[in-house]
Structure 1
Amino acid sequence: MHLFMFMAGLISLVAGANLLVRGASKLALSFGISPLVVGLTIVALGTSAPEIAVSVASVLEGKSDMAVGNVVGSNIFNVLFILGLSALIVPMVVHRQLIRQEVPIMFGVSLLMAMMALDGLFQMWESLMLVLLLVAYTSFLVVQSRRESALAKALAQGGDELETELQAPVPGAWDAKLPVQLALMGVGLVFLVLGSDWLVSAAVVFAKALGVSDVVIALTIVAAGTSMPEVATSITAALKGERDIAVGNVVGSNIFNILGCLGLSGLVAGSAGLVVAPSLLAFDIWVMLAVALACLPMFITGGEIARWEGGVFAGYYVAYVAYLILAAQEHAALGTFSTVMLSFVVPLTLITLVVSVVRRRA
């Protein structure tokens, strides 16, 4: 019964996110907002909606450590697994705007989250700060888009028809009307609320049955489950050769997970704040920060993620999950596994990345 509830919750989250993204995107385009801004804001928020729904539901059920664990686990999953798998399909060439703006912002908000977590509690004022930063970031993107549109119009010559990026819905399309768009968003939100409740309830039961903590379940099963919209979007984009979308979806979602998901969850928690589990503070938050940092040299120097780098990312995610399972069970192989990773695998990877960066710059 609980397995069925978990699967139903996962399906409901994916369906709800898709409906919300479709309705919100069509609504935004109807009002003349560019697809770039829609992708970095509404679509990113839509694919992060399952994380938001699950984290808020966790807070309401008194599981605030699951809320934080879900954000951390989802961001690790997005970079290591989704980007890694996408790069294995086709090398990820990254757009200049993502290199110069969004990737540094992703690392910056990850660093800010780590600093806020040092005292073991996300206080209400810190959560409010995150939400305000989200509003400021979204406003900045809108203003930036309008400036670019104004510049494009200024460069238009002699009455030539100007091709803009705005792609308003086709008038005859079934989702071109405002009531339909609002209905899609409303139904999507309902599915998200129901799905998050079922998923969290089933995950708590699984944690107790397996003898592992709620945080471990949040970092693995729940994080991967709520990241299914990002998986579907990035893999589909990679298969179609739309590599900017594949990378931008992950980067944008990570920014929204921290600023929106964590911020809103903290506001719902109120004066009690969000408790940061000791295990998160000791290990997982720093893994999240490390994988965000790992994106900087590859993107900035080469503007791409090669297939072998994608394989390394995916392999590290498998190793990360294996470590969590071994640690949760206090397995005898944990010491050997940690020694091999820290003494051989990680240093060898760092050396290889440094050599790759030097070659690219040369």
Structure 2
Amino acid sequence: MRSLRRAAFFPCFFDMKLFFWVLVLAAAAWGAHWGADKLAEPLKKVRQQWGLSEAAGAAFIALATASPEVGTNVASAVRGLKDIGLGNLLGSNIISVPAIVTVAYIASRKRTKNSSESSRRRQHSMQVKPEALYVQALPYLAIIALAAVLTLPQPWRGLQPIDGWIMFAAYLVYVAQAIMRDRQDGQVVRWNKKEIIVAILGVLLLALGAYLTVTATENIVTLLGISKLIGGLFITSSMSIAPEIFATWSVARSGQVTAATTNVIADNTVTMTLAFFPLALVNLLIDNLLIFSVNLAFVALLGIVYAAFIYWGSDKNSFQFWEVLALNGVYFAYLAVMLFGVLKVF
């Protein structure tokens, strides 16, 4: 009888343990993004002080908004859990594009009565500034191509320290071209001690959140019996973009549509460069070339579709409803390929 009770209790204990680590992961992700948000405020002031354009400012502010992903990869490298960092890096760059564009599109909708036909047409599209293509999307595609060259060919497959420094240099070039474009007159901004203290606290919470994100993911994948790479691809990445979705809604509702839709590309660019850096320093080997190449291909595909809709879409420099649906369609195609073609779970 005692053994039966113990057997009945074990599944409950297992579920409670899993539930605990899911809560830790959620809290860690939100904590990391809260810390990043406190770091973003001073960077926004720097953008105003330097007179950066909206899209160029997104490249700079992405240092803060993408810092949870960078922090997660630093923690992954330090703890020897590189596959979690790699999975989070690729997975967040895939799910973020359709998710953020969809939320920004919905948040930017405004209904007006007695509007003209052209006005009604604009109501069905989300306008962005042309710089979103040249400052953000095209450099992002170039960086993805560089990542493929550094990681896929047989002679230098994987990530070595030299690859990390190359990607770091690529990030500096990306930021430099963003800053130099469309410079405006700088504004006078005021700094206070409280902001600086809060920013420092934000960095500390960001570091703690990144460490707990990796720890929680490690325990979750162990309990579920799945690989660390898959856990990073689908569990950590989905949780890590949740705070960004809420932030995008707020930014788009305030009328900053270009910032809302280009921040995702700026974040992904930082992730593809600076978040690769710690993994490269500890010599990341690619154990499953198929999973890595399929995910990198969809990272590139979503970037290409994003840029194409801005340039060649039905309404130039905008996203229409069907284009938003198409971005989501690419993501569902990715899920189908991974589940049925790569993982063969069904």
Q: Tell me the TM-score normalized by structure 2.
A: 0.79
The 1:287–1:189 alpha-carbon spacing in structure 2 relative to 1, beyond 3 Å, is same
| Cα distance in 2 for residues equivalent to 1:221 and 1:168 | 43
Cα deviation for residue 36 of structure 1 reads 3.6
Map of 2:4 onto structure 1: none
Counterpart in the other structure of 2:317: 303
Q: State the distance in 2 between where 1:104 and 1:139 align.
A: 14
Deviation at 1:71? 1.5
Q: Is the 8 A contact 1:35 1:167 kept in 2?
A: no
Q: Tell whether 2:197 aligns with 1:183.
A: yes
Which residue of structure 2 aligns with residue 6 of structure 1?
A: 25
Which letter does structure 1 place at the counterpart of 2:302? V
Kindly indicate whether the alpha-carbon contact (under 8 Å) linking 2:309 and 2:319 is maintained by their aligned counterparts in 1. yes
Amino acid at match of 1:34: L
Aligned partner of 1:106 in structure 2 is 140
Partner of 1:161: none
Query: Hey, what's the Cα distance between the residues in 1 that align with 2:226 and 2:284?
Result: 24
What displacement does 1:141 show?
Answer: 2.9
Identity across the alignment (%): 20
Residue 331 of structure 1: SS of its match in structure 2?
A: coil
Q: Read off the aligned partner of 2:93 and give its amino acid letter.
A: N
Q: C-alpha distance in 2, partners of 1:85/1:294?
A: 17
| Partners of 2:342 and 2:292 in 1: CA distance | 16
Q: Deviations over 1:328-350 (max 9, x none)?
A: 87433xxxxxxxxxxxxxxxxxx
- 8 Å Cα contact 2:56/2:135 also seen in 1: no
Q: Which residue of 209, 229, 233 maps to 1:195?
A: 209
- Tell me the secondary structure at the aligned position of residue 99 of structure 1: helix
Structure 1 partner of 2:248:
234
Alignment counterpart, residue 137 of structure 1, candidates 168, 171, 174: 174
Give how far 1:100 is off: 2.7
Give the partner amino acid of 2:36.
A
Is 1:47 matched with 2:62? no
1:77 to 2:95 alignment = yes
Distance 1:251 1:6, change over 3 A: same
Which sections of structure 1, spanning at least 5 residues, go unmatched?
A: 150-163, 333-362
Cα distance change on mapping 1:255 and 1:206 into 2, 3 Å:
same
Superposed CA deviations along residues 125-161 of structure 1, whole A, max 9, x for unmatched, are 111011012122223333335xx34xxxxxxxxxxxx
Listed one character per residue, the Cα deviations across residues 200-233 of structure 1 (whole Å, up to 9, x for unaligned) are 1111111122222111111122112222343233
**What is the RMSD computed on CA atoms of the aligned residues?**
2.5
Match of 1:96 in 2: 130
- Which of these residues, 266, 269, 273, is aligned with residue 252 of structure 1? 266
Take 1:15 and 1:42, find their aligned partners in 2: how far apart are those partners?
18
8 Å Cα contact 2:98-2:328 kept in structure 1: yes
Point out where structure 2 has 5 or more consecutive residues left out of the alignment: 1-19, 110-124
Matches within 5 A, 1:322-361: 324=338, 330-332=344-346
Q: 1:183 to 1:132 in 2, by over 3 A?
A: same
- C-alpha distance 329-132 of structure 1, shift in aligned 2 (>3 A): closer
Q: Indicate which of 59, 80, 85 corresponds to 1:62.
A: 80
Distance 2:220 2:337 in 1: 19
* 1:222 and 2:236 aligned: yes
Mapped contact 1:24–1:181 kept (Cα < 8 A): no
1:286 is aligned, of 297, 301, 308, to: 297
The 1-side partners of 2:86 and 2:334 are apart by: 18
- More displaced, 46-55 or 118-127? 118-127
2:7 is matched with which residue? Answer: none
Which of 267, 270, 276 lines up with 1:262 in the alignment?
Answer: 276
The verdict on how the C-alpha distance between 1:276 and 1:230 changes in structure 2, with shifts beyond 3 A counting, is: farther
Corresponding residue of 1:86: 104
3-state SS of 2:197 partner? helix
Cα distance in 2 between the residues matched to 1:208 and 1:194:
21
Out of 94-103 and 45-54, give the one that drifted further.
94-103
Matched, 1:116 2:130: no
Is contact 1:106-1:292 (8 Å) kept? yes
Deviation at 1:322, TM superposition (A): 5.8
* Alignment correspondent of 2:327: 313
TM-score, normalised to structure 1, is: 0.76
Structure 1 pair 237–33 and aligned structure 2 pair: CA distance change class (3 A): same
Cα distance in 1, alignment partners of residues 163 and 337 from structure 2: 31
Give the length in aligned residue pairs. Answer: 305
